């Protein structure tokens, strides 16, 4: 079993799902929680800045912010199929010269990834077993803003994900989803010098944008 905590990732995020997600994005735009995070980033004015998008999937945040005036972005994802879909969309938009791609588990490749003004993890924390390693490795790369979409720490959500994981187990799939304590995530972000600046919730998800408020930690650049 892969010790990274994202076991069986490509079983779930395969070529068929990537094509479906890209088609849906082209028809309807960003999903609701992604749109909430994008609204927060736009309000913070990231034009002319740089982005490190971890677990970026088809690159929705990258595509949207590059269109809005972001200077450049780096897309990190462990699924070759999703990286291919992101490349296709970037080529269609004419932004390949401003978008770099890194394939792999971010915690494992972090040492070779430069920091950026903004770091985002949209529905990534829930895919990773070791939340401490993930948040510490990613938050230290952010010079200014750190944006997350993660499951709310509620009993109903924990029960629901336990049922989903039970279904994966019956199907003999290695992938598991996680509900990490939101207070722990906030504490880890605070260790890196960040505090919540904007926040929104849905029934399932918490969308939070942290801003750097202290000099501790490093942007990784």
> Each residue of 45-83: pLDDT tens digit?
999 999 999 999 999 999 999 999 999 999 999 999 999
Is-contact 206 186, C-beta < 8 A?
no
Looking at residue 10, what is its pLDDT? 60
Torsion angle (degrees, nearest 10) of CA 95, 98, 103, 105 = -120
Q: Does residue 44 belong to any structural domain of this protein? A: yes
**CA gap 112, 220 in Å, rounded:** 10
**Residues spanned by the domain of 18:** 9-212
Residue 159 lies in a domain: yes
Residues in the chain: 221
Please state, rounded to an integer, the average pLDDT across all residues of the chain.
91
Q: Is 217 contained in some domain?
A: no
CATH code for position 158: 3.40.50.150
Q: Is residue 2 part of a domain?
A: no
Q: Do residues 88 and 75 touch, judged by C-beta distance below 8 A? A: no
Binned at pLDDT 50, 70 and 90, residue 216 comes out as very low
Do the domain assignments include residue 191? yes
Domain tally for the chain? 1
CB 144 within 8 A of CB 91: no
Q: Helices in 6-72 by DSSP H: which ranges?
A: 9-12, 15-28, 32-43, 60-68
- Does the residue 218 lie in any domain? no
Give the dihedral of Cα atoms 191, 77, 35, 40; nearest 10 deg.
30
Does residue 219 lie in a domain region? Answer: no
Q: Is residue 166 part of a domain?
A: yes
Q: pLDDT for 97-150, tens place per residue?
A: 999 999 999 999 999 999 999 999 999 999 899 999 999 999 999 999 999 999
């Amino acid at each position: 079993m892969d010790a990274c905590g994202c076991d069986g990732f490509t079983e779930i995020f395969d070529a068929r799902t990537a094509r479906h997600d890209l088609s849906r994005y082209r028809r309807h735009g960003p999903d609701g929680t992604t749109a909430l995070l994008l609204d927060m980033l736009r309000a913070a004015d990231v034009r002319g800045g740089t982005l490190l998008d971890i677990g970026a999937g088809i690159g929705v945040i990258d595509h949207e912010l590059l269109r809005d005036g972001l200077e450049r972005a780096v897309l990190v994802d462990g699924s070759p199929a999703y990286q291919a879909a992101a490349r296709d969309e970037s080529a269609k938009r004419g932004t390949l010269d401003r978008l770099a791609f890194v394939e792999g588990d971010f915690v494992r490749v972090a040492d070779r990834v430069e920091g950026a003004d903004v770091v985002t993890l949209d529905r990534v924390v829930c895919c990773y077993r070791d939340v401490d390693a993930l948040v510490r490795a990613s938050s230290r790369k952010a010079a200014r803003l750190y944006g997350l979409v993660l499951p709310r720490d509620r009993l109903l959500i924990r029960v629901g994900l336990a049922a989903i994981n039970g279904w994966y187990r019956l199907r003999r799939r290695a992938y598991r989803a996680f509900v990490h304590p939101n207070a722990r995530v906030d504490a880890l972000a605070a260790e890196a010098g960040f505090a919540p600046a904007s926040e929104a919730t849905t029934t399932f998800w918490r969308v939070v944008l942290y801003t750097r408020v202290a000099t501790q930690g490093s942007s990784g650049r």
